[in-house]
């Protein structure tokens, strides 16, 4: 189970009790727009969202180990994140 809010995360919209993975995509310290994919522990595609104008993204996901993949003009980068039930996992991705 996974869902995403387009347009970038706003802390006031975090759903209490939901497992949340969110973060920002940057290049040389500046926000980058593009897409972010969520892949499960076997590498299977689960969801994709566009980043906001400030490079932010958010997924609601099941607990477990996930790969977050940033796809932006001129590059891509992966980060592994472990999401805990009801917790917030912050991910910084530099491309």
Residue pLDDT, tens place only, 35-70:
999 999 999 999 999 999 999 999 999 999 999 999
CA distance 67 to 24: 14
Q: Phi, psi at residue 11, to the nearest 5°? A: -55, -30
In this structure, whether the domain defined by 2-7+17-94 belongs to CATH 2.60.40.10 is answered with yes
Q: Please tell me the least confidently modeled range out of 9-18, 63-72, 84-93.
A: 9-18
pLDDT for the residue numbered 92: 96
How confident is the prediction for the chain on average, in pLDDT?
88
Residues 55 and 24: beta-carbon distance below 8 Å: yes
Q: Phi, psi at residue 75, to the nearest 5°? A: 175, 175
Q: Indicate the DSSP class of residue 12.
A: G
Dig out the tokens for 44 from the structure.
Answer: 């299977």
Q: Is the pLDDT of residue 74 over 80?
A: yes
Residues 3 and 47: beta-carbon distance below 8 Å: yes
**Predicted confidence band of residue 10 (pLDDT cuts 50, 70, 90):** low
Give the percent of the chain with pLDDT over 90: 79
Residues 45 and 39: beta-carbon distance below 8 Å: yes
**Predicted confidence band of residue 17 (pLDDT cuts 50, 70, 90):** confident
pTM: 0.82
């Amino acid at each position: 189970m996974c869902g995403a809010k387009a347009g970038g995360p706003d802390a006031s919209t975090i759903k209490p009790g939901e497992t949340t993975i969110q973060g920002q995509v940057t290049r040389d310290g500046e926000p980058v727009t593009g897409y972010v994919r969520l892949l499960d522990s076997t590498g299977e595609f689960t969801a994709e969202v566009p980043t906001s104008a400030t490079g932010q993204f958010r997924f609601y996901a099941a607990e477990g180990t996930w790969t977050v993949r940033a796809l932006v003009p001129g590059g891509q980068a992966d980060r592994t994140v472990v999401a805990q039930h009801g917790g917030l996992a912050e991910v910084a991705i530099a491309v």
